[in-house]
Amino acid sequence: MADLTPLLAFRWSPRSFDPTAALTEDEATSLLEAARWAPSAGNAQPWRFALGHREDGTWKRILVGLPSGDQRWARHAAALLLGAHTGGDPERAAYDLGQAVAHLTVQATALGLHVHQLTRFDRAGVATELDLAVGVRPMVVVAVGQLGDPFALPEDLLGREAELRRRRPLADLLLA
């Protein structure tokens, strides 16, 4: 890997979260502020969030929308954050939401927290559970918390946790 700033180089998406750690009020505010100050087309800021702390009502409504395999580990994260967009042009709004969540992730890393994003979940179900307005489109569930003991994971998840991070070669990304 080329020289990357530590906040990017040390970022990864774990499945092992500390089930005893909470997300503090200051941490939650800091994460949301990072998202809030992301850039967006025409400064439209089409991102919206629902934050559930472990075991609270919002958390339960988000958790039940996740695939059962992911619930096994995501339930241990300190918080589950739903990311949605309000875009008239869904593609542009999703682009901006992606930036906001990336900024949130960088801030989480700066706070010593870890983030694992989930994009496969019951979007319509979560929208209903959280009573979202028409036009607010859930796109991602962000599990955030302190890193936990990977050996507490079920064996199949431990195997995935130990996999090397891989990406396409840089040359494959270049158009011109």
Interface positions with a copy of itself (CB under 8 A): 1-5, 7-9, 11, 13, 26, 29-30, 32-39, 41, 43, 45, 47-52, 58, 61, 82, 84, 90-92, 94-99, 101-103, 105-107, 110, 117, 119-120, 130, 132, 136, 139-140, 165-168, 170, 173-176
Report in angstroms how near the CB of residue 142 gets to a copy of itself at its nearest: 11
Q: Among residues 59 and 76, whose Cβ is nearest to a copy of itself?
A: 59
DSSP per-residue codes, 11-40: ----S-B-TTPPPPHHHHHHHHHHHHTS--
Smallest distance, a copy of itself to C-beta of residue 86, A: 10
Residues in the chain: 176
In the complex, least distance from residue 27 CB atom to a copy of itself, rounded to whole angstroms: 10
Q: Return d(Cα 152, Cα 161) in angstroms, integer.
A: 11
By beta-carbon proximity to a copy of itself, the closer residue of 20 and 124 is 124
20/57 with CB nearer a copy of itself: 57
Single-letter amino acid, residue 38: A
* Region of residue 34 (phi > 0: left; psi between -120 and 50: alpha; otherwise: beta): alpha
Spell out the residues 6+ positions from residue 152 whose beta carbon is closer than 8 angstroms to its own.
16
